[in-house]
Amino acid sequence: MRGCLDLGLLSPIEASPKIRAAADKALSLDPDNGAAHWMLACLAMFFERDWSLVEFHSKRAVASDPNSAEFRLPYVHFLSAAARHDEALTAVERAIQVDPVSALACENAGYHYYLARKFDKALEYCERSLALDPNFDLAHDIVGMIYIQKGMLAEALIELSKTPFYPEFLGYAYGASGRTDDARRILAKLLENQSRGEGSAYRAALVYLGLGESNAALENLEMIIEESPAYLWTAFLKPDPLWDPLRSDPRFKDLLARMNLPE
């Protein structure tokens, strides 16, 4: 997922309009520019939640270069966000067939198998990704998430400690492991950033969930409804097993219904 998700050192609020402007300029020069269509599909998927544009730009990107695994991935994300797992897994396997030595495609396969709750297969693909690129931070995050679901919390902490980009996952694992002080240390930093308008309320919500504080988690999740641009991980609230402790809560069901998630 690295290619679609990472915006470098800029926040999404700063980066999204710059990326859109660059992509629009590229398309004005070449309407079939696959990289520009790919980036607009990513923006529509992760930050704008415009699902019709995800499909449109994804298809244009793939048409420009059917042999690009990366160009196929935004539509895979869309399918998983809608919990259409059979279709998502078929699509991500096709991306790997196109480029079997792509660390990015293998990492994506790991994530989408994780969302489909096929954890052993997810781990297999993440390990394959890390064999191709040992410094692929996001693959370590996904391995950590898989370990959480397999009840391997000590192993999860090791993996999640290797990457600095999404501390909410480490905070969740600390909370779930009973390392409350460590979880609250991360939570305090996330809340401080949030108070300055930096970072999503999703991040604190996930740490609260790991601490077993469901009400605080739900209160923070309510804030993400108004966030613009949206935070990338909120696209996967529907299928992500991390959120299973809240699925029977009517407040969580209502939240999902109001989030403009794909069907």
CATH homologous superfamily of 1-153 equals Tetratricopeptide repeat domain (1.25.40.10)
On the question of pLDDT at 118 being above 90, the answer is yes
Q: Is 85 exposed, middle or buried (0-12, 13-18, 19+ CB in 10 A)?
A: middle
pLDDT class of 10 with cuts at 50, 70, 90: low
Convert the pLDDT of each residue in 162-206 to its tens digit. Answer: 988 899 999 999 999 999 999 999 999 999 999 998 889 999 999
Residue-range domain boundaries for the chain: 1-153, 166-263
Distance CA 113, CA 149 (A): 12
Two tokens, residue 140: 């370590």
pLDDT of the residue at 7: 42
Among 17-31, 78-92, 115-129, 142-156, which is the least confidently predicted range?
Answer: 17-31
Which runs of consecutive H residues, i.e. helices, occur in 82-152? 85-98, 103-115, 119-132, 137-149
pLDDT of the residue at 107: 97
Distance CA 261, CA 258 (A): 8
Q: Do 138 and 2 contact (CB within 8 A), yes or no?
A: yes
Distance CA 3, CA 160 (A): 20
Distance CA 236, CA 243 (A): 10
pLDDT of the residue at 47: 85
- On average, the pLDDT of the chain sits at 93
Among 17-26, 71-80, 124-133, which is the least confidently predicted range?
Answer: 17-26
Q: Do 221 and 254 contact (CB within 8 A), yes or no?
A: no
Contacts of 138 (CB under 8 A, 6+ apart): 1, 2, 5, 107, 163, 165
Nearest Cα residue to 177 out of 195, 161, 192 = 161
pLDDT of the residue at 49: 87
Q: SS3 of 150, please?
A: coil
On the question of pLDDT at 100 being above 70, the answer is yes
> What is the pTM for the complete model shown?
0.92
pLDDT class of 8 with cuts at 50, 70, 90: very low
Peptide bond into 229 cis (omega under 30): yes
Percent of the chain with pLDDT over 90: 83
Two tokens, residue 133: 């690129």
